[in-house]
A and B are shown apart, each in its own frame.
Chain A
Amino acid sequence: MSAPDPNTSLEPAAATAGGGSLLAVGGGVLPRWAPWAAFAGALALCAAVLAALGILTIALALIFSVFVASGGIYVVSRAVEGPRRATDRAVTIAIVSAFGLAMIPLISLLYEVISRGLPGISLEFFTDDARGTIGGGGAEHAILGTLIITGVAVLISVPIGLLAAIYMNEYGTGKLRRALTFFVDVMTGIPSIVAGLFAFALFELFFGPGIRMGVMGSIALSVLMIPIVIRSSEEVLKVVPNHLREASYALGTPKWRTITKIVLPTAFAGLVTGVMIATARIIGETAPLLVTAGVVDSVNTDPFQGRMQNLAVYAYNEYRSPGVMKQASYDRAWAAALTLIAIVMILNVVARLIYRRYKTEIR
C-alpha cells in the first residue's frame, strides 16, 4: 500500500475537489525511506539526549526513539499526506514495534541461557551424579532420568496416539468421531500439574501413599503428549490423497493393508516430525515430574523402582535449594537449562529437516 497513488500524487487538487476519492486532503506522498529516516533520526536524538542526562541504555534509547519517530512521522505525514495516511503510518509503526517488543524477550532469554549456562557446563556435569556431594557433582542422573522418563512416555503415547488418529481419519464416523475431535482439543488444555496429580492419584490408589516412580512421570507426560500426537498425525493423514487409497482398493487390497502399506508410508515423514515436536514439547516439563518422579541424587535407570531425577526438576532444585556455594548451584541450574534448551532445539530442527528431506511429494 505504500505505492504512491497516481491520482493524488500527480493531481492533488483534482482529487480533493472530486470529493469522491477516499484519499485525503494533503495530497502529497512521503518517500519510501521516510519511516526509516525518521527512526534513525529519532534514535540519534534520543541517544544524544539520554547521554546528556547520563542515563543512556540501549533499551531506553530504543523505546523512546520508537515514540519520537512515530510521533514525528505522524505529524509530518498528517501535514503532507492527510490524516488517514498519517493514521496508517502510525498504526504500522505501532504494529512493527509490537512485534519487536515480542522478540526482545526471546533474544534476551536465549542470550541469558547461553551466557549463564556455559560456566556450569563441564565434562563432570555430564558424567557425574550428585551422590554424596554437598552441593556439587554433575547432572548425569538427571540427564539419564530425562531420557528414560521421556522415552517411556513416547513408547506409551505414540501407539495410542497414532492408532487413535488412524481411527479418526480412516474409520471414524458419527458421534464417536465428533466427540473424539472435540475432547482431544479439550485435552490439549489440561494443565501439566493436573496430569501429574492424576498419575500420582492413580498410583497411590494401587501402591499406597508417598509413591514415587519414574514410570509415574511417564504416564503423566503421556496425558500431555497423546493429544499432541493425535492432532499432528491427523493433520498429516488428512492430506494423503484419496486416489492412492482408491487405487489400492481397486487392486483388491484390504483396507488395513492399504492403511499400513500405502497411507502410513506416504505420511511417514510428517508422522515422525509430529512425534519429535511432541517429544520436544514434553521433555522440558517440570511440574508433573515434581509430583511423580520425585527428587534424587544418584543415577536410577529403573523406571519401575524408586525416585528418578529429571533435568528440569534438577534445575528447579538447584535454584530453589542452593548449597553452601550459591553461585555454583545457580550455575548448575543454568547449565541444566542450557542442556534442556539444546535438546529441545535439536529435536525441533531435526524434525523439520527430516520433514523437508523425506516428505512425499503429493500432487
Chain B
Amino acid sequence: MAEVDTTTNAGQLLAAASGGRRRRGDRIFANTTTIAAVTILALLAGVAIFLITEGFPAFTADATDLPGGKTFIDYAAPLAFGTVLAAGFAVVVAVPLAVAVALFITHIAPPRLSLTLGYLVDLLAAIPSIIYGLWGIFVLGPAAVPVMKWLEEHLSWIPLFEGPASSTGRTMFVAGLVLALMILPIVSAVAREVFAQTPRKLQEGAQALGATRWEMIKMTVLPFGKGSVISGAMLGLGRALGETMAVTIILSVSGAVSFNLISQANPSTIAANIALNFPDSSGIAINALIATGLVLFAITLATNFAARTIIARQNIQ
C-alpha cells in the first residue's frame, strides 16, 4: 500500500503546484467520491434506524393487538428457532460438501479444467432463489419422500428424524437441503480461494517426504485453510438465515417448536413468515413483522460481523 500513498502524494503535490482551477476540479471530485463513500455507511445505518422506528411499536404493543394474541417475544421466539434450525441444518450439510468441492477443484481435477469447474459451481449462486423454491417443491420434495420414510423407519431414535414422515416433502429436511445447495457456492468459493493459496513449498515438501495426495492435503492444505473455511461457513450461515423464498415455498408451517426435520409440522422461519404474511397484513401486524425483520437483521449482522472479523484477522497475519 505504500506505493499507492507515494503516488497519491505526488498527485496532490502536482495538483497543488498547478493552477487553482485544476485544484477546484480535484476538490470537487474528491468530495463527490467521499460523499458517495459516506452515503454507504449512512445507508447501513439507515437500514437499522428505519427498521427500529417502524418495528418499535410492536415491542411495546399490547399482546391482544399482535397477531395470534401473544406478546412479541412469544411471537418471535418460535420463528427465531425455526430460522436457526433450518440454517444450522443447511450449514451442517453444505460445509463438508463445499470443502470437498473446493478440494476437487483445486487439487484433484486436472488444472486445465479447474476454471471451468469453478464457473459451474458459481452458476449455482447465480440461480434466483424463487427457482430453487419451485425446484424444491416440485422436484426435490417428491424425490425426498422415500428418503424421509427410510429415515423414519431406521433412525427415528434420533429426535431429528422422529417422524411421522411427511408424504408431501414440504418439510424442514427438504428446505434445509435446498438452503444447503444455495450456500454451497459461497462456502466453496472461500475455501477454494484459500486452498489454492496453500504455499507450494509445503505441499511439495510433503510429497517429497513420500506423502500420498490425501496425506499432503491433510497435513498442509486443510490446516492452512481451516480458519477461512470456518469464516466461509459463517458467511454461508448468514446467507441461510436470511434466505426467504425457497423456505417460503417449500415449508408447510405450523408454528410448532420441534427439532423434527421430516414431519408435516414445522416451525416457520423469520424471513418466510414475513414473505407469507406481509402482503395481507396491516396496522400493528406490519410493525410486528418489521420487528421480526429487525431481529433477523441483528442475527445476520452479528454472524457476518464475526465472519468478517475472522477474515480480517487472517489477512493481517
A interface, CB within 8 angstroms of B: 1, 5, 21-23, 84-85, 87-88, 91-92, 94-96, 98-99, 101-103, 105-106, 108-109, 112-113, 116, 159-161, 163-164, 166-168, 170-173, 176, 179-180, 182-195, 197-198, 200-202, 204-205, 209-210, 223, 226-227, 230, 242, 245-246, 249, 252, 254-260, 280-281, 283-287, 290-291, 294-295, 312, 315-316, 319-320, 330, 333-334, 337, 340-341, 344-345, 348
Other-chain contact of B131, A103, A113, A159 (Cβ < 8 Å): A113
Asked whether, in the complex, the Cβ of B135 is within 8 Å of the Cβ of A182, the reply is: no
A181 and chain B: residue at smallest CB distance: B312
The reply to whether the CB of B14 lies closer than 8 angstroms to some CB of chain A is: yes
Asked whether, in the complex, the Cβ of B297 is within 8 Å of the Cβ of A191, the reply is: yes
Asked whether, in the complex, the Cβ of A183 is within 8 Å of the Cβ of B128, the reply is: no
Main DSSP-derived SS at the A contact region:
helix
- Most A CB atoms within 10 A — which of B43, B181, B184? B43
- Residues from chain B with a CB closer than 8 A to the CB of A168 are 37
Asked whether, in the complex, the Cβ of B120 is within 8 Å of the Cβ of A295, the reply is: no
- Residues from chain B with a CB closer than 8 A to the CB of A23 are 210
Known: A180-B40, A209-B282. A88 touches B213 (CB 8 A): yes
Chain B interface size, as a band, is 35 or more
Main DSSP-derived SS at the B contact region:
helix
Asked whether, in the complex, the Cβ of A242 is within 8 Å of the Cβ of B41, the reply is: no
- Residues from chain B with a CB closer than 8 A to the CB of A210 are 282
Asked whether, in the complex, the Cβ of B135 is within 8 Å of the Cβ of A246, the reply is: no
- Residues from chain A with a CB closer than 8 A to the CB of B10 are 246, 249
- Residues from chain A with a CB closer than 8 A to the CB of B215 are 84, 88
**20 interchain pairs, CB-CB under 8 A:** A87-B214, A92-B108, A96-B104, A98-B96, A98-B100, A102-B97, A170-B8, A201-B50, A209-B282, A255-B12, A284-B129, A286-B129, A287-B274, A290-B275, A290-B278, A291-B275, A316-B133, A316-B249, A330-B138, A334-B134
The reply to whether the CB of B60 lies closer than 8 angstroms to some CB of chain A is: no
CA distance A105 to B246 in the complex (A): 15
Other-chain contact of B130, A112, A227, A284 (Cβ < 8 Å): A284
Asked whether, in the complex, the Cβ of A106 is within 8 Å of the Cβ of B279, the reply is: no
Taking the closest CB of chain A, its distance from the CB of B222, in whole angstroms, is 12
- Residues from chain A with a CB closer than 8 A to the CB of B105 are 99
Asked whether, in the complex, the Cβ of A242 is within 8 Å of the Cβ of B3, the reply is: yes
CA distance A171 to B37 in the complex (A): 11
Sorted from nearest, which 10 A-B pairs have the closest CB atoms? A191-B242, A284-B128, A22-B210, A98-B100, A163-B36, A256-B29, A189-B304, A167-B33, A88-B212, A201-B54
The reply to whether the CB of B308 lies closer than 8 angstroms to some CB of chain A is: yes
- Residues from chain B with a CB closer than 8 A to the CB of A286 are 128-130, 244-245, 275
Known: A99-B101, A242-B4. A226 touches B40 (CB 8 A): yes
The reply to whether the CB of B296 lies closer than 8 angstroms to some CB of chain A is: yes
Asked whether, in the complex, the Cβ of B130 is within 8 Å of the Cβ of A205, the reply is: no
- Residues from chain B with a CB closer than 8 A to the CB of A22 are 209-211
CA distance A105 to B7 in the complex (A): 50
Taking the closest CB of chain B, its distance from the CB of A193, in whole angstroms, is 5
- Residues from chain B with a CB closer than 8 A to the CB of A190 are 47, 242, 297, 300-301
Question: Beta-carbon contacts of B216-238 to A below 8 Å, as 1s and 0s?
Answer: 10000000000000000001001
Known: A92-B213, A98-B104, A319-B249. A103 touches B129 (CB 8 A): no
Asked whether, in the complex, the Cβ of B305 is within 8 Å of the Cβ of A167, the reply is: no
Taking the closest CB of chain B, its distance from the CB of A349, in whole angstroms, is 10
A159 and chain B: residue at smallest CB distance: B36
Other-chain contact of B134, A161, A283, A333 (Cβ < 8 Å): A333
Asked whether, in the complex, the Cβ of B46 is within 8 Å of the Cβ of A198, the reply is: yes
Asked whether, in the complex, the Cβ of A108 is within 8 Å of the Cβ of B139, the reply is: yes
- Residues from chain A with a CB closer than 8 A to the CB of B84 are none
